[in-house]
Each structure stands twice: as structure tokens, then as C-alpha cells.
Chains A and B, each alone.
Chain A
Amino acid sequence: MRWRIFTNGLIRENPVLILMLGLCPTLATSGTARDALGMGIAASFVLISSNIVVAMIRKVVPNEVRIPVFILVISTFVTVVDYVMHAFQPDLHRMLGVFVPLIVVNCIILCRAEAFASKNGIFNSILDALGMGIGFTGAILIMGIVRELLGNGTIFGRIILGEGFHKAPVLFMILPPGAFLLIGILKGLINYFQR
């Protein structure tokens, strides 16, 4: 039963590829595998921490003001991530730019706080957040790896497809249209295999 809460977010209800939540960061920060991994970890950290806090305070918060309270909790952890990333990973922080503070409006996080953590205990909420976080990181990492491989011939900065390809890559994939195309194809493949 508990195992199922964890695995829910991985594939069956993958937040990005099945539920179509959190599309903005998935498309915008998947230009390279490193950016994608950074965004995935940052968003997962906020997701897990906010789920824990929301599960803890779920019985004290009046029903009418729960959404503003959840948003405040989330924005607190987003500020923490913003400052920690700025201090220890300044390059990554510059690459992700405005998308670091924008984790606060990532639909996945508010959705899990509202739909799961506000109704379940702390331990289950952690499991749910872990599953959803890994699902999100996995999806964005797949996007990042494919886009970097085709658009630059590298993965995490290491040349994979040979010098020639690295000098004349499919530049299209690393530009904005490539992100739309890739997620369209991924969604099509998922629909194909789901049937």
C-alpha cells in the first residue's frame, strides 16, 4: 500500500508526462542535462519540504485560508533553494535565472500539497513527494539528455557523438522549438504504448 504511494508518481501518474503539470520549467530548463538535473533536484527539495510542513500543519490551518498558507510555505523553501544555489552553484543559478524563484508557481508542488499532503500523514506525504519528485526529475532529465545529445553532441559536457557532430550539431534541438517538438514526440510515444 505504502509502496504504491511512492511508485504512483514515477510512471503511472508521472507529473510531467501523464498529468501535464509543471510544463514551464520542464521545457525551459532542459537545454542541457546539467540544468535539467539542477532544476529537478531544486524542485524536488521544495516539494518534499513543503509536503512535510503542510502535512504537519494540516489540522491547524483553517480551511478557508489554506491555499495562501500553502503558497507561503512553498515560497519560504523556494527562497532557501534560491539562496543556497546562489551561494554554492552560481553558474547553475545564472543559467536557470528567473526559473529558480518561479518554482513557487510550479503546479506540481501546490497540487501535491493540496491533493495529498493536506489529507495524509507526514510519512505518507514524504513518500508521495519522493515519488513525484523523482518522476519530475526523471522526465526533465530525459528531456535534457536528449536535447543536449542532439543539440550539442554531449551529455553532461562530455562529447559522446564524436568531434564532427559536436562542431555541427542539430542546433534546432537546443533552441526553444526543439523542446516543444521533443515533448510532443514523448507524449505521442506514451500514448502509443499506453494502448
Chain B
Amino acid sequence: MSDLGVIFIGAFLVNNIVLMRFLGLCPFFGVSTRFESALGMGMAVIFVMTMASWITWFLYHVILLPMELIFLRTAVFILVIASLVQLVEMFLKKSVPALYSALGIYLPLITTNCAILAVTFLNIDYEFSPLEATTFAIGTGIGFTMVLLIFASIRERLDLYPIPRSLKGHAIAFIAASLVSLAFLGFVGLFGIAL
């Protein structure tokens, strides 16, 4: 396996952003009640995550690092993501209205998605090259979408089963997430990728 392949599988399955790293839990529990909304959210995340990775990588290595402004990293990255989401939203509304209406309300929600910010930090911490950072972002985004879809299907069925009254809603969703997470633990060690 090439390095890029290892990075992709690592981000996609072994260190899955939701189940293993516990990031992006708010959309995970908020949006995963219906299949279509889960798909829309997932697409929006993949898109913004990749864009944000490119821009923050460029800003960090071209501006912050040479000028010794690393301490501004947190502030710069969060502002970049917030304005990027606004920009993407305006651009799509004007030029690709079909995609815009498909992503709908999920675009603005992404600003508060900690998974995006985490990926941009991890790109820096792991000292990825631009190509590796892109692979990592896409792999993470696809992993997020897949788990969201799996979970949307599970929750659509959970509504039909007789669950004890006090476990209804969030509680049973967490316990189901625990079981799915346990299944994903089986991927640990795949191609020698550690947790």
C-alpha cells in the first residue's frame, strides 16, 4: 500500500472521525434521523472539509510559519472556515443552484462542525504535504458520510421497536453508536494502522 492509500484507509475506517475520534458528534446525532438529510450533510462536509484543508494548509505554510505567527493558528483557522462556508454558500446559490438546494440548510450548520476544524489542525500536526492533506480530508469526509448513513438507517428502524421509555431518543442512539463503534474497532490494525 502506498502512503496515500494508508492515509485514506486510516482516515476512512480505522480512525473514523465520528466513532473513533469523537468529532462532529452534534451533526451526527442531530441530522442522522433521516436518510436524505444525512446524505446532504455528508456531501456538504466532504466539500467544505477539502476546501478548508487546502486554504488553511496554504495560509499556515505560506503566511503563518514564515512570519512566526503560529500562535494565531486557532483564530485564523476558525475565521477561515466561517468565512469559507459563507463564500461557498453565496457561490453555489449564484452558479450551481441545483447543488445549493440539495445541500440546503446543511451548509451554514457546518461552521460549528468541529470535525472540519480538527482536520485542518491534524493536517498541520501530522505535517502532511498538500496531496496528503487532500487525501486525508476526503477520506475523513467519506468516513463521516458513511457513518452518518449507517446510523440514519439504524435510527429509522429504532423508531419502530419497543424501547424502554427512559432510553428513548438520545440514550438508545448512544448505545447503538457504541455497538457500531465496537464493530469499527475490528478495523484496528488493518494495513498496520494503529488507533
Contacts and interface: CB of A to CB of B under 8 A. Distances in A.
A105 B179 CA distance: 27
A98 interface: yes
B117 A27 contact: no
Interface residues of A, number: 39
A180 B173 CA distance: 9
Contact of B75 (A76, A97, A179, A187): A76
Interface string B36-63: 0000000000000000000000000000
Interface string B170-195: 11111101110110010000000000
Most chain A C-beta atoms within 10 Å of own C-beta, residue among B114, B118, B170: B114
A157 interface: no
Contact of B82 (A71, A176, A185, A191): A71
Most chain A C-beta atoms within 10 Å of own C-beta, residue among B122, B169, B171, B185: B171
Interface stretch (B18-26, B96-104, B132-140, B141-149): B18-26
B182 to A, nearest CB: 4
Given A79-B71, A183-B174, A184-B178, A176 B185 contact: yes
Contact of A68 (B82, B113, B169): B82
Contacts of A177: 178-179, 181-182, 185
Given A177-B178, A181-B178, A23 B29 contact: yes
Main secondary structure of the interface of A (DSSP, over half): helix
A28 B21 CA distance: 7
Interface of B: 19-26, 29, 71-75, 78-79, 82, 112-114, 117-118, 121-122, 125, 164-175, 177-179, 181-182, 185
